[in-house]
Amino acid sequence: MPPNDLSALLLLAVAGSIALLGALWLYCDRRDRLYFDQTRRKTTFSCLKCSHVYTGVGSEPAPCPRCGRTNPRLRF
């Protein structure tokens, strides 16, 4: 039965394409989310010595880029 084989092949090709696009979409979405989380998650610090406000990665105390004093993160 050639028409049924052709229909099954066409259905398989369409389903495979949809599955491939879905997997590619999930991969790109996950990669972009990880990238934006890394660039967005910054901690704000305020220097107690020179009042300079700066950002850093992580919640550990970070040294001021202006005077070098280590400051705790800014809490609101």
Residue 52 contacts Zn ion per CB under 5 A? yes
> E strand or H helix at 28, and its extent?
helix 2-40
CA-to-CA distance for 20 and 1, rounded, in angstroms? 29
Pick from 26, 67, 72, 74 the residue near Zn ion by CB under 5 A.
67
Residue 73 contacts Zn ion per CB under 5 A? no
Residue 62 contacts Zn ion per CB under 5 A? no
Pick from 66, 70, 72, 74 the residue near Zn ion by CB under 5 A.
66
Q: Which two tokens stand for residue 2?
A: 């050639």
Residue 48 contacts Zn ion per CB under 5 A? no
Q: Which residues pair with 46 in a beta bridge?
A: 53
Q: Specify the residue for token string 């990238």.
A: 35
Task: Decide if 67 contacts 58 (C-beta within 8 A).
Answer: no
Candidates 9-17, 25-33, 36-44, 51-59; binding stretch for Zn ion (CB under 5 A): 51-59
- Which residues of the chain form contacts with Zn ion (CB under 5 A)? 47, 49-50, 52, 64, 66-67
